[in-house]
Amino acid sequence: MSSFEQLQKQAATLGLSGTDALHYITSQQAYEWDERASVRQEQREEAERQAQREEAERQAQREEAERQEQREEVERQERLELA
């Protein structure tokens, strides 16, 4: 993020002064704010996608555990029937 002083120097380097410099500075600040907001939004979306992936993985593990339990129960029943 550019500080106000840095933006003032940039404006001066560009030959801007007065209201033109102020307009340049406020425009740059707004641009930088929008960029940071965009980055934050992308980070939130990525965190949400990660949470969804993790939940899907947990669900898959639960389902696999249930299938394993069912297989073991079938095997127990078969052993009981053979005994």
Q: Express each pLDDT in 23-66 by its tens digit.
A: 999 999 999 999 999 999 999 999 999 999 999 999 999 999 99
Q: Report pLDDT for 1.
A: 64
| Residue 27 and residue 10 in contact, taking contact as beta carbons nearer than 8 Å | no
CB 16 within 8 A of CB 24: yes
pTM: 0.65
pLDDT tier at 18, thresholds 50, 70, 90: very high
| Banded model confidence at residue 79, pLDDT cuts 50, 70, 90 | confident
